[in-house]
Structure 1
Amino acid sequence: MRFVLIFVPIILAAIGQLILKTGMNQVGNFNLIRSFINPTVLVGLAFYGASLILWMMVLTRENLSFVYPLVAFSYVLTVTLSKFVLHEPVPTLRWLGLAVIVAGILLVAKSA
């Protein structure tokens, strides 16, 4: 249960990024007002808001020095989702960099 509480806000943040990217693609050239009235952008922000609330709960229960490095999983998840959902190109070197991040996450998680 401990890791579920830690990873749910991280996953919500990654999904929020994906939704925000989709919404901003709909907006086109950056325009703050159009961004904030775009329903897809608002859904992405809602995911971020939910992530923030859950993350605050995590911070009341865990050491920051343990949980904050685990946030790096959001990078891995966001790139993976970008590849398979948004069909963005992800070069081999980027995948190798993500593998290094995963190794670091595993080391931090092992210290729990």
Structure 2
Amino acid sequence: MMRFVLIFVPIILAALGQLILKSGMNQVGKFDLVRSFTNPVVLLGLCFYGASLILWMMVLTKENLSFVYPLVAFSYVVTVVLSRLVLHEPVPSLRWLGLAVIVVGILLIAKSA
């Protein structure tokens, strides 16, 4: 169980980083590199990415890449669900179906552990 916690924490942090980054970029408006890197919400999103990267590097020292990297697809699921719940973005039915296929794939990979 702890093995999967270690694997999924950086994946979830990366998805949260996407959500926070999107929120920050919505505040920035039209893309401007200086304004982007001085926006506190954008910087927070980048911090989530940094934390995710450090934890992912720890995962890579313990697990086979062929096992853990496909599990990164879970970040797609988390990102879409949070985009719907937090950002109120529309998610069409076909996208939900695609996410269901991803979840089945993740379960199959996890079962192979």
1: CA distance, partners of 2:95 / 2:30: 27
Q: Which amino acid aligns with 1:96?
A: L
- Partner in structure 2 of residue 92 of structure 1: 93
- Report the Cα offset of residue 55 of structure 1: 0.0
Shift of 1:47: 0.1
- CA distance in 2: counterparts of 1:33 and 1:75, whole angstroms: 28
Return the letter of the residue paired with 1:64: L
The residue matched to 1:107 in structure 2 has which SS? Answer: helix
Q: CA–CA distance in 2 between the matches of 1:99 and 1:38? A: 35
TM-score by length of 2: 0.99
Share of identical aligned residues, percent?
85
TM-score between both structures, scaled by the size of structure 1: 0.99
In 2, Cα distance between equivalents of 1:32 and 1:94? 31
Kindly state the Cα deviation for residue 26 of structure 1 after the two structures are TM-superposed. Answer: 0.2
Deviation (angstroms), 1:22? 0.1
Partner of residue 54, structure 2? 53
Offset, 1:53: 0.1
Spell out the pairing of 1:1-112 with structure 2 (5 A cutoff): 1-112=2-113
What RMSD over aligned residues (CA atoms) do the two structures have, in Å? 0.3
**2:41 corresponds to which letter in structure 1?**
T
1:36 alignment partner AA:
F
How far apart in 2 are the matches of 1:106 and 1:30?
38
Mapped partners of 1:75, 1:110: distance in 2: 20
